[in-house]
Chain A
Amino acid sequence: MPRIIKDGRIADDPWRWVTTDEVMTPECLAGDEHLLLPLPLWQDQQDRHDRARTGVWLAPDDPFIALLPWLAELPLIAIHFPVFTDGRGYSLARLLRSRYAYAGELRAVGDVLRDQIYFLHNCGFDAFCLRADQAPEEALGAFGDYAWTPVAGRGRALGV
């Protein structure tokens, strides 16, 4: 099982990442696998009975507004970073956590590197699936990169 960083620790990851061009058979959807679906597919499969095992991942420009009615029951939202310099995911996370009060797992996936973890965490991410060449053990230190917490109440409403 692949490993991720979750809540500041290394954890096994039961979720299967489903790509946008994957075709999901009814058998597959009926199974007990943890499925992380792209937004369009997730919208098609909203009646999947096993909500606790159905998560959604967002591309940076996905219209995540569609998720809003379901935020209370979504166990996992992953936000994809195509390159680590694409900062849209930071604002998505901030919106989901503070404006829309999403309380489930919020995971950064894709081009996620050690040097961004501190800041991603500050925006509300609590799970990190690092780029394949990154060692999660070595990245754990990133949470302590700064002793400082953001000023002027920034992040107070984040619940992180």
Chain B
Amino acid sequence: MYLYNATDQRLVDDRVIQFRGQMERFLAGCLSEDDFRPLRLQNGLYIQRHAPMLRVAIPYGTLSSRQLRKLADIARRYDRGYGHFTTRSNIQFNWVRLEEAPEILAELATVQMHAIQTSGNCIRNITTDQFAGAAADEIFDPRPYCELVRQWSTLAPEFLFLPRKFKIAIAGGREDRAAVRFHDIGASARVGEDGRIGFEIFVGGGLGRTPMVGKLLKDFLPREELLNFFEAILRVYNRYGRRDNKYKARIKILVKELGLETFAKEVEDEWEWSRGGPNTIEAATFNDMEAFFARLDYPPADPHDPAYRQALQYNRAFARWVERNVARHRVEGYAIVTLSLKKTGIPPGDATAEQMEGIADLAERFSADEIRVSHEQNLVLPHVARKDLLALWQGARALGLATPNIGLLTDVVCCPGGDFCSLANARSIPVAAAIQQRFDDLDYLFDLGPLELNMSGCVNACGHHHIGHIGILGVDKNGEEWCQVTLGGREGQRGALGRVIGPSFAAEEIPDVIGRLLEVYLAARHEGEVFVDTVERIGLDPFKARVYGEEHAAHH
């Protein structure tokens, strides 16, 4: 993991002092609400429906055990004993007191953490593949680049007041687990024919009110030019992005209005000038950075450990968990474990202070002290010896974190919704809970196979509903909560936006509606065909007919 140097530490310490001063001036009435708002937002502090909410940055979703223990400590002392992991791999504390926020930031600074740029119209937390550095299909580890971009973007003075927020994702695997096509900038690892290391760059992707798949801006950007090129993109956006209408202010709208070609020309013009300039990354910098993340000290571990083999054969619950929650590691004898924060009845992504401490202990024992946050709102232990899986599973089960549902229907991605968020049009947590309760049968879930269901409580799409195989969007109809359903969205190389199937449903109808959609799939699927592929093959009509058939007939 990256460790702060004196400069990094000084920066977060100075930030605490600065924000404490701003808070004092605000509480003393010397700073108006309007002048204070952007300052508190740039420190992750929102005013929500019931209380202020503090969003803490987890850069590229990586935590040490010590950091996770601190988050547990903050949850207990400053909140109501839990935190919520978000789809941007951050954590939110929903019940903090405004005047205590500088204290919490000071606590975070003691473990090299902060809430800088977790909100506001600036470059937000950098995200990546939760399996980075561990995935078997990795081209190269994206984290050294994430860290370089984190350092460059933290308090990047030129880009603190952009037209709108700006999200960057960097992925290193052959498979895209970071949704790079759905970010303002997405970078995907590439090795050129001559062996040069670089990235494929996408621009203008995003969800929200106007969802778009990112467009390919550059098929190969040499890695040393990463910051120069990003700066060129940001500068063009900062100067020309719309500021008259916040719904048209994201870079995707600028790219659309200018056209990709014109936008690319502007960027090339900026880059032409800065190329090879002071922000060019030197080879030594890459080496230093890679040294933080390289992990070569895996003790040899027998992939065929007899006790593990036996447990797989005779312990059905364990075997199911291994099937769903354990992924291949690049080192033989090791595995990547996903701890499910999607137990039925618990708001997706929530973890209690006790669970966080328990996970910190498990990471210390089994995963080299390291934890990752996935954008699907689960926690990952990236380096577990296969022979330790049984003991880890037992530990996770005791904490209520071993639901074997990763990538299945009940692994619902879900924003906090109307229960907390003041932007929401509808509550999302009760809908997610109703779905989990209805489809709680593991045999049924396993038979359904991989199926991603994402739910957002409003068009801002924090629950990424557009890229769920099934997407649910909460809408308000005359004060009642309704849900719009989309089908066919997906992440990854074949990234696509879901399409709306028709008129919305009352929130309480949703489990039934999903049941009917699943019946269509089960009847139509080919052997081994996953839900979203069936949707792609047969189109929306059979689903619409099953869901709306009779009502439609009655209307016509």
Pairwise interchain contact A119-B157, C-beta atoms closer than 8 A:
yes
Pairwise interchain contact A154-B7, C-beta atoms closer than 8 A:
no
Measured CA separation A52–B235 after assembly (Å): 31
Interface residues of A in 52-96 (CB under 8 A from B): 84-88, 90-92, 94-95
Measured CA separation A150–B239 after assembly (Å): 21
Contact of B39 among A90, A115, A123, A147 (CB under 8 A): A115
The contact string, 1 if C-beta is below 8 Å from chain A, for chain B 216-258, is 0000000000010000000100110001000000000000000
Pairwise interchain contact A87-B159, C-beta atoms closer than 8 A:
yes
Pairwise interchain contact A84-B235, C-beta atoms closer than 8 A:
no
Interface residues of A in 87-114 (CB under 8 A from B): 87-88, 90-92, 94-95, 99, 113
Pairwise interchain contact B160-A152, C-beta atoms closer than 8 A:
no
Pairwise interchain contact B162-A87, C-beta atoms closer than 8 A:
yes
User: Which residue among A92, A120, A146 has the maximum number of chain B CB atoms within 10 Å of its CB?
Assistant: A146
Given contacts A148-B10, A154-B278, contact A113 B157 (CB under 8 A): no
The contact string, 1 if C-beta is below 8 Å from chain A, for chain B 514-549, is 000000000000000000000000000000000000
Please give the distance in Å from B349's CB to the nearest CB on chain A.
30
User: B323: CB under 8 A from chain A?
Assistant: no
Contact of B152 among A115, A145, A152 (CB under 8 A): A152
Measured CA separation A84–B159 after assembly (Å): 13
User: B99: CB under 8 A from chain A?
Assistant: no
Measured CA separation A152–B230 after assembly (Å): 13
Please give the distance in Å from B186's CB to the nearest CB on chain A.
21
Measured CA separation A12–B7 after assembly (Å): 36
Pairwise interchain contact B239-A88, C-beta atoms closer than 8 A:
yes
User: A11: CB under 8 A from chain B?
Assistant: no
**How many contacts A-B (CB < 8 Å)?**
88
> Using Cβ atoms and an 8 Å threshold, which residues of chain B touch A118?
157
Pairwise interchain contact B151-A152, C-beta atoms closer than 8 A:
yes
Contact of A147 among B14, B155, B238 (CB under 8 A): B14
The contact string, 1 if C-beta is below 8 Å from chain A, for chain B 1-26, is 00000010011001100100010000
Pairwise interchain contact B278-A85, C-beta atoms closer than 8 A:
no
> Using Cβ atoms and an 8 Å threshold, which residues of chain A touch B277?
153, 157
> Using Cβ atoms and an 8 Å threshold, which residues of chain B touch A84?
35, 38, 161
Pairwise interchain contact B278-A153, C-beta atoms closer than 8 A:
yes
User: B158: CB under 8 A from chain A?
Assistant: yes
Contact of B279 among A85, A86, A122, A152 (CB under 8 A): A152
User: B444: CB under 8 A from chain A?
Assistant: no
The contact string, 1 if C-beta is below 8 Å from chain A, for chain B 125-165, is 00000000000000000000000100110011111111100
Q: In this complex, what residue of A is CB-closest to B231?
A: A154
Pairwise interchain contact A151-B152, C-beta atoms closer than 8 A:
yes
Contact of A99 among B18, B121, B148, B273 (CB under 8 A): B273
> Using Cβ atoms and an 8 Å threshold, which residues of chain B touch A150?
155-157
Please give the distance in Å from A63's CB to the nearest CB on chain B.
11
> Using Cβ atoms and an 8 Å threshold, which residues of chain A touch B235?
91, 94-95
User: B281: CB under 8 A from chain A?
Assistant: yes
Measured CA separation A118–B15 after assembly (Å): 12
Given contacts A87-B238, A88-B239, A99-B273, contact A146 B161 (CB under 8 A): no
Pairwise interchain contact B35-A113, C-beta atoms closer than 8 A:
yes
Measured CA separation A156–B163 after assembly (Å): 26
Ranked nearest first, the 8 interchain pairs of A and B with the lowest CB-CB distance are A87-B161, A153-B278, A122-B157, A119-B157, A156-B278, A148-B11, A146-B14, A90-B158
Beyond known contacts A119-B157, A154-B156: 7 more, CB 8 A cutoff: A90-B159, A115-B35, A116-B160, A145-B18, A152-B151, A152-B227, A154-B279
Q: List 30 A-B contacts (CB under 8 A).
A: A84-B35, A87-B160, A87-B161, A90-B158, A91-B235, A91-B239, A94-B158, A115-B22, A115-B35, A115-B39, A118-B157, A119-B155, A119-B157, A120-B157, A123-B157, A123-B158, A145-B14, A145-B18, A146-B10, A147-B10, A147-B14, A148-B7, A150-B157, A152-B148, A152-B278, A152-B281, A153-B280, A154-B152, A157-B277, A157-B278
Interface residues of B (CB under 8 A from A): 7, 10-11, 14-15, 18, 22, 35, 38-39, 121, 148, 151-152, 155-163, 227, 235, 238-239, 243, 273, 277-281, 285
